[in-house]
């Protein structure tokens, strides 16, 4: 989005259709998506600024497009948020290769990496796209101490970052901004309005981070 006064449609970045529809697996850094996200939701004066993401003004976030189908526990995944530093058990060579790949995409290892299903994004409405991005941003949290106070790096003064799972604040924040339809929690709202009953309710978007 070139200016804060512009709406999401006028500056919402789009992936390459040729790459999305190609037969080869494709991952590509999306700096234009990061810039749009910051100008839309994070920066002071952003057109759709959300104070819940203020700590991310000092975070480095790498965005990726992909055309690779993903499913987890029988559900289609359209977005994930994860730490920038490679996680899990891997040998020195494996970790070095992973870091090299991340640096190849972003120039350095970011605090967070958000990956978006480019095929889904092309057909999503603006509200759905914005809701997905904010959903993933809510996973990118500032760590807190034992008293619940925000933690900062003693050497750099930057926030100490961590991943956050689903909680009430995330649901309230996204539903308040985009409504139950765009956020995929209409069933949850209807169930709450109807009163308690035993039912299978889909309460999360198709986010690989929280499945």
The confidence band for 9, taking pLDDT boundaries of 50, 70 and 90, is very low
Residue 206 lies in a domain: no
Residue 208 lies in a domain: no
* Residue 61: domain span: 8-194
pLDDT tens, 92-104?
999 999 999 999 9
DSSP string, the chain: --STTS-HHHH-----HHHHTSSS--EEE-HHHHHHHIIIIISTT-TT--GGGGGGGG--EEEEEE----EETTEE--EEEEESS--SS--HHHHHHHHHHHHHHHSS--SEEEEEEHHHHHHS-HHHHHHHHHHHHHHEEE-B-TTSPBPB-TTT-PBPEEE----HHHHHHHHHHHHHHHHT-HHHHHHHHH---------S-SBTTT-
pLDDT tens, 184-211?
667 666 766 776 533 333 334 455 665 5
Count of domains in the chain? Answer: 1
pLDDT tens, 13-41?
999 999 998 889 999 999 999 999 999 99
Residue 204 lies in a domain: no
Residue 113 lies in a domain: yes
Residue 189 lies in a domain: yes
pLDDT of residue 204: 44
Residue 210 lies in a domain: no
Residue 3 lies in a domain: no
């Amino acid at each position: 989005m070139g200016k804060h006064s512009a709406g999401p449609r006028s500056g919402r970045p789009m992936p390459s259709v040729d790459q999305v529809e190609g037969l080869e697996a494709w991952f590509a850094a999306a700096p234009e998506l990061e810039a749009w996200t910051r100008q839309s939701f994070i920066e002071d004066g952003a057109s759709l600024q959300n104070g819940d993401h203020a700590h991310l003004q000092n975070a480095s976030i790498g965005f990726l497009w992909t055309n690779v189908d993903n499913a987890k526990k029988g559900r289609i995944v359209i977005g994930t948020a994860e730490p920038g530093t490679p996680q899990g058990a891997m040998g020195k060579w494996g970790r070095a290769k992973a870091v090299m790949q991340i640096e190849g995409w972003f120039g350095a290892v970011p605090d967070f990496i958000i990956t978006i299903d480019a095929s889904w994004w092309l057909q999503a409405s603006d509200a759905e796209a914005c809701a997905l991005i904010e959903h993933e941003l809510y996973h990118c949290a500032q760590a807190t101490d034992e008293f619940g106070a925000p933690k900062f790096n003693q050497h750099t003064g930057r926030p100490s970052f961590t991943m956050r799972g689903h909680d009430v604040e995330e649901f309230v924040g996204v539903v308040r901004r985009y409504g139950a339809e765009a956020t995929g929690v209409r069933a949850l709202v209807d169930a709450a309005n109807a009163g308690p009953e035993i039912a299978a309710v889909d309460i999360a978007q198709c986010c690989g981070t929280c499945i």
